[in-house]
Amino acid sequence: MDRDARVERVARNASEVLTVDELRALFATQERPRAYIGYEPSGRLTVAHLITARKIVDLADAGCDVTVFLADWHAWINDKLGGDRERIAASGRYMQAAFAALGVTPDRVRYRWSRELAASPDYWARVVRVAKATTLARTKRAMSIMGRAEEEANLDSSKLFYPAMQAADIFELPVDLAYGGMDQRRAHALAREVAHHYRWPVPVAVHTPLLSSLRGGARMDPVEGLVEGKMSKSDPGSAVPIPSSTAEITERLAAAFCPAKVVDGNPVVEVVRFIVFPWEGRLAVDRAPKHGGPVEFADEASFLAAWTQGTLHPQDLKAAVAGVLDRRIAPARLFFAEHPELAPDRFVAPPTPSGSGVGARS
C-alpha cells in the first residue's frame, strides 16, 4: 500500500482529521506510525463500537502500530461500574474478547492498561506538566470527554485529573496518531495544544462519527461537547448491546426512531452510513414483490437518494439493518456462549427490554 492509499485508508469515513497534511507527513517519515484509541472499561459494548472497530482495522491495514488503551484508572475516576476496580478490570477483559470477535484480532493490535502508566512517577510528572499548561477553565470545558457537563467537575476533585491524564497518556505511551469518536475531540485538541506549548511532537488526531440513540430526538453537537443524544450503554433502550440475540436485535431495531425520508438524527440511517457500508460495502434490502421486490445499494449515495425520495420504507430498512447487525454480532454471541466467564453479565446488570416492535405498514 503506497502513501496515498495509506492516508486514504486512515481518513475514510472519518468526520475529521487534524490535519490531513500532518497525516501525509507522518506516513512520509514513518513506516509504522504509532496509533492509539482509549476506552474506559465501563460496561457492555454496543453496535456503535463497530464504528471504532472498523477504523482500528483501517489503521492496522494502513501499517500503523495500534494500541488499544484500556483506561481503567479513568473509569475509576469517572465512577463507572460503581467505582469497583475489580468489575472495571473484568470489563476490560470482556472488551478485549468482544473486539477480537468483532474483527479487531490480536494480530492487529496490542492492549495496554492505564494502571501500567500510573505505576510510574514519570507519568505523574507528565500529568503535572500537562496541567500546568492548561487553565482550570480549559480543563472544565474538557469535561465532555467523560460524558459529563462542565459543572459536574465539582462532584469530586478527582474529576479534574481526568483531562490532564488523558492528554498525558498520549505522550507517555507515546503515540503519533490519536484516534477516537467525535466526543474525544476536546481531549485530542488539548493534547495538541500542550504539545505546541512544550514543543513536544504534535499528535495527528482522527475522529469518527457518533451514533445517535435508537430513541432519537436528542440533539448532538460533539464540537460543542453536546453528546447526550448518542447511543449509550448506560441507557439500554438507546442501544444494541454486544452480544445480543437475534430476537433482541430485531426488537430494538423495530422500536428504533426512523422517520421516513429523514437523514439527520436518524439512527437507523446512521447505522447504514457508519457501519453497514464501511464493513460490508453494500446494503441489500429484501422486500416483498408488492413493495418493489429486493433491492441492493452499492454505495451510500444511491441509498440516500432512495431514502430521501421515499422509495424505501422504514420497516424494510429496519429489517435489512437488523440482519446486518445480527451477522456482525454473531461471532461475539458464539464466543461468549463458549466462554461465559468473560461475559458481561459477570460485571454489569443485563439490559432492560427495549419495548414494542414495529406496527403495521402504513
Give, in order, the Cα–Cα distances in Å from 228 to each of 149, 154, 211. 10, 19, 11
The low-confidence residues of the chain, meaning pLDDT below 50, are 153, 226, 350-362
Asked whether the CA dihedral 274, 275, 281, 287 is positive or negative, the reply is: negative
> DSSP E strands: which ranges in the chain?
16-18, 34-39, 45-46, 65-70, 109-113, 177-181, 204-208, 241-242, 283-285, 295-297
Residues of the chain with CATH 1.10.240.10: 222-346
φ, ψ for residue 308, nearest 5 deg? -70, -25
φ, ψ for residue 13, nearest 5 deg? 60, 15
Structure confidence by residue, pLDDT tens digits, 140-156:
888 766 665 555 545 67
Element (H, E) at 319: helix 314-338
CATH for 222-346 (1.10.15.40, 3.40.1410.10, 1.10.240.10, 3.90.930.60): 1.10.240.10
Q: Note the pLDDT of residue 308.
A: 97
Q: Note the pLDDT of residue 156.
A: 79
355: cell is: 419495548
Question: 289 burial class (0-12, 13-18, 19+ CB within 10 angstroms)?
Answer: exposed
Q: Note the pLDDT of residue 67.
A: 98
Structure confidence by residue, pLDDT tens digits, 106-136:
999 999 999 999 999 999 999 999 999 999 8
Q: Which residue reads 430526538 in cell numbers?
A: 217
CATH for 3-208 (3.30.70.1150, 3.40.50.620, 3.40.50.10190, 3.40.140.10): 3.40.50.620
Q: Note the pLDDT of residue 354.
A: 39
Q: Note the pLDDT of residue 137.
A: 87
CA neighbor of 107 nearest in space, from 60, 68, 70: 60
